[in-house]
Amino acid sequence: MKKFIAAAIAATALTSAVNATSIVQNINFDNRTTDFTASSTFNLFDSTLGTLNSVVITSAFGFTTTITVQNNASGGSDGDAATLAYLQTGSSNSAINALLLSSFDTSTTSGFKYGLKTDTKDADGNGQDYSVGAGQSVTLDAIAATNVGKTTTLTSGLSAFTGAAGSTADFIASTLTKTSLNNTGGNTTATQSTNANADFTITYNYTSAVPEPMTWAMMIGGFGLVGYGLRRKGVSVAFN
């Protein structure tokens, strides 16, 4: 009998495991010139599918930049230059926007609230070295930078991500790009030409409201095993 009870328990456990499932959506803002503000739509969670337990948002941010240093003085100049880029997320859906700003974007620069920052500085905090003569300019080699991103898990306020079947919301990405310049001698300015990209994944983790066919099969199989065991033991079950 213990074996049959164990089988039934195992079937129930498998049922729970099968009912826990996910929906994954990818949002890609392909390589484009900064600074930009772009939006893309994504599907809200259909509440008829079950109970939404969490929303997980992952992100990655990268760019490629070329810096030009202009020396306007009558003497030469040496130094280093770097590009810094920041990424902010948002939505025109006020409830979703509040969640993104409070849990994803956590730092501020020049009044711009951002979640990811990446730059072309090296481990010592310096940019690309340059040396430029009087009245001359130099364009530094193109350089790429990538922020592997971050993951934010939301477990409250999930009603903001829930709607009727087919309903959508928008996801907004904005960038802010700066140039960092350190120089010795000369009178220099730096300009940059930058293309950036941002990728997001939105995952809905939920518990299914209706067992799938495989779940029904396991449930029936489990109860069948229990019934078979009771029959072999000569145990009768009455339903009133």
For the entire predicted model, the pTM comes to 0.79
Domain range annotation of the chain: 21-210
Cα–Cα distance measured from residue 29 to residue 97, given in angstroms and rounded to the nearest whole number: 18
Measured CA to CA in angstroms, residue 137 lies from 53, 75, 179, 183, 193 at distances of 56, 12, 16, 13, 15
User: Dihedral of the CA atoms 194, 200, 170, 205 (nearest 10)?
Assistant: -170
Q: What is the DSSP letter of 232?
A: H
Ordered per-residue pLDDT tens for the chain, 240 residues: 555 445 445 555 545 445 889 999 999 999 999 999 999 999 999 999 999 999 999 999 999 999 999 999 999 999 999 999 999 999 999 999 999 998 889 899 999 999 999 999 998 899 999 999 999 999 999 999 999 889 999 999 999 999 999 999 999 999 999 999 999 999 999 999 999 999 999 999 999 976 656 655 665 665 565 555 556 655 454 544
